[in-house]
Amino acid sequence: MEELIDQQIAALGQTKVLVALKPEVLGYALTERDLPAVSDAARNWLGTFFVQPDQQQSAALALTAAHFAGRKRVPPRGLEREKVRVFPRLGLALGVVNARTVDLLRSDRRVANIHPAAELSLIRPVDIRPARGAPSPTWGVVRLKAPALWSAGIDGKGVVVGHLDTGVAGDHPALAGAISAFAEFDMAGNQVSRAKPRDSGEHGTHTAGTIVGRPTGQGAFGVAPGARIASALVIEGGQVIDRILAGLEWIVGKNVRIMSMSLGLRGYTPAFQELIDAIRRNNILPVIAVGNEGPDTSRSPGNYANVLSVGAGDAEDMVADFSGSQKFARERDPFVPDLVAPGANVLSCVPGGGYAAMDGTSMATPHIAGLAALLLQARPSASATDLEAAILGSCIRPASMPDYRANRGVPDAVEAFRILTGEALAEPVAKARTTAPRRSASRTARRREVA
């Protein structure tokens, strides 16, 4: 029970609980006349243990609940007026707690038990989704054939992916239960104690959603919706190099096998080579964006020979105009990117409970990290090199993608599975991948912003 409460707080920053009070607190024989005074007194001292619920989160919960109940959204009411509701006859109190106040409640002698409030089960749409039909997967996950692995029960469960970015909005419904660990590094690169999952921008929540986002009414956009992330907030601002290095050290300590880095410095610098070498020695596959500056450009360390360098393609199997690509005068792996993944019109979650479609190699990179997570679940003993070989070996370059822009082309989850495990997916399962792609966000008639 305590574990569930802690998990919800870790994921959302707060959670609703039902508190059972010891009988002597409210009196044994309440009369109707006693009730108001007893309730007021209890509300006064209990008030210090509860917090005002986050309105955005309440709205997101209500939206999710309404969607799955097949009715119009009903705005949350009531809780904004009072922090705690006391039910004196039942000896119960209901309210929202955070990490600090739940500890206070647990140590208070007047409290008998604390239970997760049942209402919060609504935040787990993945639990109730099957009864109402699965949300459509986005074009990106379909292009990689990830749904074929999902149908075989491979959704990344048990895998933790390192995520180095602007952070992650822990209160987004699509990321409930998807954050294994979170660390924030301040402007000087020092870890912020007891930091709660948050996003300093929007980038990190979007990339996290592409790796591990749980299906919502907006669609199934997470490639590995059963996996979790260990996320470090390291960009942008301050002594950013200190922050990035500190975040990387932290992630390596989390024993991940896959690291998603939608970041890099324009051009080539050998500065991070020792770091990447160390990451590889630690049996971690670095999946890194090549950059958004177009042909004959790239970013470091996404342009190193020993990383999985990712470019962006679109739903028409064209390499996106902005996607970086470059040839280096080196014997090993002279071309970057190594491959191309869906990176145009990519729908995922953003802070505030919302969703957005973005274009960029930053969006392509988490697709590959998610694919690697699926493969790692399929063969948990696989090394980072095994995962990389399976992904690269599965790539097919469509005729519409020139080799100097796309290199090996686009990976295929089903083929990568076969390469890694030596087994083919069963045919009835493989047929599931023919799910029609959903146009995750219209390419026309929607407001476009230059980010």
Active-site positions read 165, 203, 362
CB of 99 to other proteins, least distance (A): 27
Cβ atoms 419, 393 nearer than 8 A: yes
The verdict on 359 binding other proteins (CB under 8 A) reads yes
Instruction: Copy the structure tokens of residue 447.
Output: 């407001």
Q: Which is nearer to other proteins, 9 or 141 (CB)?
A: 141
CB of 320 to other proteins, least distance (A): 8
Give the whole-angstrom CA distance, residue 156 versus residue 314. Answer: 24
Give the whole-angstrom CA distance, residue 412 versus residue 1. Answer: 41
The verdict on 49 binding other proteins (CB under 8 A) reads no
The verdict on 173 binding other proteins (CB under 8 A) reads no
The verdict on 422 binding other proteins (CB under 8 A) reads no
The verdict on 361 binding other proteins (CB under 8 A) reads yes
The verdict on 141 binding other proteins (CB under 8 A) reads no
The verdict on 291 binding other proteins (CB under 8 A) reads yes
The verdict on 363 binding other proteins (CB under 8 A) reads yes
The verdict on 75 binding other proteins (CB under 8 A) reads no
Could you tell me which residues are beta bridge partners of residue 163?
231, 260
Closest CA to 109 of 207, 208, 22: 22
3-state secondary structure at position 258:
strand
Residues in the chain: 451
- Subset of residues 208 to 227 that bind other proteins, contact rule: CB under 8 A: 218
Q: Which is nearer to other proteins, 354 or 393 (CB)?
A: 354
Over the window 261 to 290, marking each residue x when it contacts other proteins by CB under 8 A and - when it does not, the resulting string is -xxxxxxxxxxxxxx-xxx---------x-
CB of 75 to other proteins, least distance (A): 19
Give the whole-angstrom CA distance, residue 209 versus residue 215. Answer: 10
- Give Cβ neighbours of residue 449 (< 8 Å, ≥ 6 apart): none
Q: Which of 165, 314, 338, 388 binds other proteins (CB under 8 A)?
A: 165
- When computed from its CA atoms, the radius of gyration of the chain, rounded to whole angstroms, is 24
Q: Which is nearer to other proteins, 301 or 370 (CB)?
A: 301
3-state secondary structure at position 20:
strand
Over the window 318 to 357, marking each residue x when it contacts other proteins by CB under 8 A and - when it does not, the resulting string is --x-x-x-xxxxx---x----------x-x--x---xxxx
Measured in whole angstroms, how far is the alpha carbon of residue 244 from the centre of its chain?
19
The verdict on 68 binding other proteins (CB under 8 A) reads no
The verdict on 399 binding other proteins (CB under 8 A) reads no
Cβ atoms 430, 414 nearer than 8 A: yes
Number of neighbouring beta carbons within 10 Å of residue 251: 28
Q: Which of 145, 172, 198, 206 binds other proteins (CB under 8 A)?
A: 206
Q: How many residues sit close enough to other proteins to count as binding (CB under 8 A)?
A: 75
Give the whole-angstrom CA distance, residue 56 versus residue 180. Answer: 22
Give the whole-angstrom CA distance, residue 90 versus residue 92. Answer: 5
- Subset of residues 220 to 259 that bind other proteins, contact rule: CB under 8 A: 235-236, 238-242, 244-246, 248-249, 252
